[in-house]
């Protein structure tokens, strides 16, 4: 987990779900100068059954929400044209996204959901795929982060104010 020493209470939590995990990032600043304050990947223990995994993931989401007190939550959904959208893993990912949505809703937070293109429109970026393929995002070095964590950073970044 990456954590900075100072946290601005106007943070945005970005989430990219997987069938048994979440990738999350707390981002503050502006679209011109984003600041990554914390990030991580929380994976449910392999021995857990589905219900136990979902409960465990909810606990981790609530912990992140309570620790970093974001003002918004951005949840990245799959693209409508994603291959394999009818497979068990895709359905499991949807259930994890639902758990994240419920946990954020239980804290009365503003929640924005959508595919990458939805978030690109929020940030007025041309191509999220080009942004994700680059070494950095407006000065934010993300080259050491895995692609799913980069997506969590990106969706949080996209909701930052202009400036």
Domains in the chain, please, with CATH? Answer: 2-158 (3.30.420.10)
- Please tell me the distance from the alpha carbon of residue 66 to that of residue 128, in angstroms, as a whole number: 29
- Please tell me the distance from the alpha carbon of residue 61 to that of residue 100, in angstroms, as a whole number: 7
Kindly report, residue by residue over 51-104, the tens digit of the pLDDT: 999 999 999 999 999 999 999 999 999 887 656 666 888 899 999 999 999 999
Kindly report, residue by residue over 100-151, the tens digit of the pLDDT: 999 999 999 999 999 988 888 877 777 778 878 888 888 888 888 999 999 9
State residue 163's pLDDT score: 77
Q: Which residue has the tokens 């799913």?
A: 148
pLDDT grade for 7, boundaries at 50, 70 and 90: very low
What is the 3-state secondary structure of 21-78? EEEEEEEEECCCCEEEEEEEEEECCCCCCHHHHHHHHHHHHHHHHHHHCCCEEEEECC
């Amino acid at each position: 987990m990456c954590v900075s020493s100072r946290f601005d209470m106007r943070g945005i939590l970005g989430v990219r779900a997987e069938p048994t995990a979440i990738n999350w990032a707390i981002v503050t600043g502006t679209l011109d100068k984003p600041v990554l304050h914390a990030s991580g990947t929380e994976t449910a223990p392999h021995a857990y059954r589905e219900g136990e995994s979902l409960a465990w993931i909810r606990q981790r989401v609530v912990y992140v929400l309570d620790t970093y007190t974001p003002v918004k939550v951005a949840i990245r959904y799959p693209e409508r044209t994603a291959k394999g959208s009818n497979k068990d893993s895709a359905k499991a990912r949807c259930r994890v996204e639902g758990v994240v949505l419920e946990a954020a809703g239980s804290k009365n937070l503003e929640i924005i959901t959508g595919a990458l293109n939805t978030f690109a429109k929020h940030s007025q970026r041309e191509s999220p795929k080009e942004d994700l393929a680059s070494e950095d995002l407006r000065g934010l070095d993300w080259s050491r982060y895995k692609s799913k964590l980069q997506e969590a950073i990106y969706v949080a970044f996209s909701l930052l104010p202009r400036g």
